[in-house]
Structure 1
Amino acid sequence: MKNYKKLTSVLSILLVAVLLLSLAGCQAAGSTPAAQTSAGQTTGTKTVTDLVGNQVKIKNNIERIAIIPIPWASVAFAVDGSGKKIVGMHPSAMESYQNCILKTVAPEMAAANSTFVDNSFNVNYEEIAKLKPDLAVIWDYQPEVGKKLAELGIPSVAIKYGTLQDVQNGIKLLGEILNKQDRAAALIKWQNDVINSLQSKTKELTSKDKTKVLYLRDKQLQVGAGQSINKLMIESVGGENVADKVSGSWTKVSMEQVMAWNPDVIILSDFSDIVPEDLYKNKLPGQDWSSIQAVKNQKVYKAPMGIYRWDAPCVETPLMMEWIGKVIHPEMFANLDLRNDLRTFYQQFFNYKLTDAELDQILNSKLNPGLKI
């Protein structure tokens, strides 16, 4: 009997020990996936590589972003499908937001702070700290800003900008940051599909068939020059950028040079308030547009403006190319339905149904009454 009791006691102790070990094993096994990230790391972080090659450790689930580069607020919105995470953006980006369809599509972005950075991209570190961002987006030429932000405990990613490839690289990076890789890939594919389709229609054009286009930024005669995205926009749909040989992106030229170019079509940027009537009625001091072919034929047009200014590299650049195609080669692009393409794009990526009035707003129809699109 004593041996039996002793054996029972030993077995009981062994069973309790096995049970405790089993529970401990279950807890350890259960904690591993909770602590791991989609990047295979722990502590709720992951590492991304920004557009200048910096390895940046960030939260897995970014909830608050402060964005210094002007166009990137609209790009972040497009990739995420919402503006709720954007807590700060550049004042020029806010100005664009207040005057475009993005204000209607993403009303939540109106709450974003636009005082933490000035028009020259100088950062107020006290103000940005108050925003408590999980991440800041900075220009590639701002490494000192990145260092100061790091001292405040704010990680930052640097972006390059100026070409459509830069935009696509940025879209991909934002997809990784926001865990929206599939959405980012779909945006890039859509861009490339539209551009390839447009270029296939114009590849047989000779130089004699190409329309001479001047892209005018402002009343100071800054034009879209040889290193501008506007060159790509124009050439992709069978146009000739008359300022192709001028160096730079936006470059100031003389009225005499414009007269020598004598463009067939003039496109006016959304970066200024210049409108076709300013040229038709010679309202600009010190400039005489009366002899320019585009003015004489009333072929001066105000550029569209979607979720951002279409003059600059942006998510909607392929739609801008479609618009220019309709402007300079209406017969060649007669079957291209830009309004329908706009509706489809906004529905697919923003889950937003554009009205006819909103389409007119985007296309600046009131300022372009002679343009039937």
Structure 2
Amino acid sequence: MKKLQKLTTILLLTICAIFPIAAAGQTESQTPAVTEEITADSSERTVTVTDMSGDTVTIDGEIKKIINLWPSATSSFFVIGAGDLLTGLAVNTPAVINSWTQLLYPGSTDIPAFGGISPSIEEIVNMDPDLVIVHPMTIKSGYAQQIRDIGIPAINIYFRDYESMTKAYTILGEVLGGEYQEKLIDWNAALDSRLSKIRELTEHISNEDRPVVYYTTGSAEKLTETMEANSIFSDWVESAGGYYAGRLMGENVRETTAEEVFKINPDIIICGGVNQHVAKHALETKTGWKELDAVKNNRIYTNPYGCFAWDRFGLESLLQIHYALYMIQPEIAAAAGITKDSLIDDVTDFYNTYTNFSLSRTQAENMLNGLQPDGTVEIPVQ
């Protein structure tokens, strides 16, 4: 009956398609507003949240089936042990479901994928989800409201830095409830504590005394692809006592030039992504790049990834904070007890706490070194 009602609504929407749909702006709700009503029967649970677009959404009943159309949020479900809730994804490729994800959640490769971020309303209905998490790029088109109009709750939990992640995970926790909410509350508290502590350790360092840190995304040997300032990248670099090179290039720059990097001559270069080992090799061997101070002083670093890249978004970004201090200010890190051994402990503790999965120390060290669970490089140097 529920599905029939949704199909009927689709027919009505199709008839009315000549009328334009009002576009929703991409804004963030400053304070996640939540109301919740719970009875003894969890199927009667009702939650009303204000999502990151400022839209108020009410969700009735227990959430058992979620379609996630924003790949950056996919890893969060696996990390908190909620992979069984995912019944549909925008994409299901090795870039999204990597070897670490498959280790932690073997069924991840079997989750159906739509092959895009805005499947048809009919496709959504056929999956019969309890909730849809939309891609932020579809907000202005009114896509989330189209889904709500057929009786399926849809929310936007967009994030780009630590502050917005805290808001997003507060909303997601309220929506999911139970043990998932407890884990996300714990994560938010851990993030706040960890950021505060390393910022206290580095706040005395003037900009002039901070090493300039250039981040390359690890897009094969394309070393000029970076990430803009005023993002999570500049956040962890500067919290850990570095100066983000993107601020010297223009704050919205994602593609720079070799000449610009050579002029800046960074003190540290961090290679992210699955191509990180290829990028590191290119830095060490390419003319011009190998003459940079970061290369000559052996201050090129690969960056770990688990279900998702630590340096980007998601719950595993909590691990990036200590790792960043270890890379950027090693003496301060050592004085604070942050060593390679402590980072390995950090990795095993993290997955025990949030994923209920016990990694071996060897596996944890492999992750720390930007490798797959078996110790191999995902994309090796040719």
TM-score range, shorter chain: 0.7 to 0.9
Q: 2:167 is matched with which residue?
A: 169
Q: Contact 1:226 / 1:246 at 8 angstroms: preserved in 2?
A: no
5+ residue gaps, structure 2? 1-35, 376-382
Residues 233/150 of structure 1: CA separation in 2 closer, same or farther (3 Å cut): same
Whole-Å separation in 1 of the counterparts to 2:107 and 2:324:
31
Whole-Å separation in 1 of the counterparts to 2:307 and 2:39:
32
Residues 125/358 of structure 1: CA separation in 2 closer, same or farther (3 Å cut): farther
- 1:130 paired with 2:129, answer no
TM-score, normalised to structure 1, is: 0.79
Q: Contact 1:224 / 1:250 at 8 angstroms: preserved in 2?
A: yes
- Structure 1 segment 323-338 matched on structure 2, within 5 A: 323-334=323-334, 335-336=337-338, 337-338=342-343
1:249 deviates by: 5.1
Residues 298/307 of structure 1: CA separation in 2 closer, same or farther (3 Å cut): same
- 2:280 partner letter: P
Whole-Å separation in 2 of the counterparts to 1:226 and 1:319:
20
The Cα offsets for residues 264-298 of structure 1, whole Å up to 9 and x where unpaired, read as 1111121646431122122xxxx731221112223
Which is worse superposed, 62-71 or 270-279? 270-279
The Cα offsets for residues 233-274 of structure 1, whole Å up to 9 and x where unpaired, read as 111111111121444556111111100110111111216464
- 1:280 partner letter: E
1:148 deviates by: 2.7
- Structure 1 segment 91-170 matched on structure 2, within 5 A: 91=91, 94-114=93-113, 116-118=114-116, 121-143=117-139, 144-170=142-168
1:175 deviates by: 0.7
Whole-Å separation in 2 of the counterparts to 1:124 and 1:281:
48
1:94 deviates by: 4.2
- 1:280 paired with 2:280, answer no
How many pairs align? 325
The Cα offsets for residues 212-233 of structure 1, whole Å up to 9 and x where unpaired, read as 1100113161212222211011
1:200 deviates by: 1.7
Residues 170/226 of structure 1: CA separation in 2 closer, same or farther (3 Å cut): same
1:160 deviates by: 2.4
- 1:178 paired with 2:182, answer no
- 1:352 paired with 2:369, answer no
Whole-Å separation in 1 of the counterparts to 2:250 and 2:120:
34
Q: Contact 2:52 / 2:156 at 8 angstroms: preserved in 1?
A: yes
Whole-Å separation in 2 of the counterparts to 1:271 and 1:90:
20
- 1:320 paired with 2:324, answer no
Whole-Å separation in 2 of the counterparts to 1:361 and 1:145:
41
1:151 deviates by: 4.2
- 1:73 paired with 2:74, answer yes
SS in 2 for 1:166: helix
Identity within the alignment, %: 23
- Structure 1 segment 202-221 matched on structure 2, within 5 A: 202-217=202-217, 218=219, 219=222, 221=224
Q: CA RMSD in A?
A: 2.8
Q: Contact 2:205 / 2:241 at 8 angstroms: preserved in 1?
A: yes
Q: Contact 1:164 / 1:314 at 8 angstroms: preserved in 2?
A: no
Q: 2:14 is matched with which residue?
A: none
5+ residue gaps, structure 1? 1-35, 369-373
1:155 deviates by: 1.8
Q: Contact 1:37 / 1:60 at 8 angstroms: preserved in 2?
A: no
Q: 1:50 is matched with which residue?
A: 51
TM-score, normalised to structure 2, is: 0.77
